[in-house]
Amino acid sequence: MDDRSFGAEISEVPEEVRVRLRGDLNGRADETLANAYSRVAALGPRRISLDFGPVGYINSTGIALVVRLLADARRDGRHVRAIGLSEHYREIFRITRLSDFMEIVEGDAG
C-alpha cells in the first residue's frame, strides 16, 4: 500500500463539518476531494474545516483543487477554514492569497 495516497474523512463536530485530509494533495486527489465536498454539502454545514495535519505534500495542482473546493463552498454560502497546515504551506496559502478567502488556523483544532 502507498501511504501517500490521498484520503478524506468527514466528521461532524459542533457547529461545523470537519474534513480530515491525508496523503499527498496532488492531481490524483481530484475525485476524492470532489466527492468529499459533495458529502459535506449534503450535511449542510455553515462552516467546513479542512484539516491538513496528515498531508505531507501539496503541489500546484493540489492548490487548484483547494481553490475549486473554496469556490464551491463560497457559492453555497459556507465558510471554509484550514487547520493543521505546516508553516511552509501556510506561506504558500499566503502568497497565493488563499488565506484572504479562508481562515488559516495555526495548531490542530482552533
**Interface contacts to other proteins, rule CB under 8 A:** 4, 7, 9-12, 24, 26-28, 35, 38-39, 41-44, 57, 59-61, 63-65, 67-68, 70-71, 74, 86-88, 91-92, 95-98, 100-101
Q: Nearest approach, Cβ of 33 to other proteins (angstroms)?
A: 12
Q: Nearest approach, Cβ of 83 to other proteins (angstroms)?
A: 18
Q: Nearest approach, Cβ of 55 to other proteins (angstroms)?
A: 13
Which of residues 5 and 110 has its CB atom nearest to other proteins in the complex? Answer: 5
> Which of 56, 69, 64 has the alpha carbon at shortest distance from 21?
56
What is the CB-side half-sphere exposure of residue 6 using CA atoms within 13 A?
22
Which of residues 61 and 110 has its CB atom nearest to other proteins in the complex? Answer: 61
Q: Nearest approach, Cβ of 64 to other proteins (angstroms)?
A: 4
Which of residues 24 and 51 has its CB atom nearest to other proteins in the complex? Answer: 24
Written as one letter, the residue type at 15 is E
> Which of 29, 38, 87 has the alpha carbon at shortest distance from 60?
29
**CA-based diameter of the chain, in Å?**
38
Q: What is the bridge-based pairing of β-strands 103-105 and 47-51?
A: unpaired
Supply 48's cell numbers. Answer: 467546513
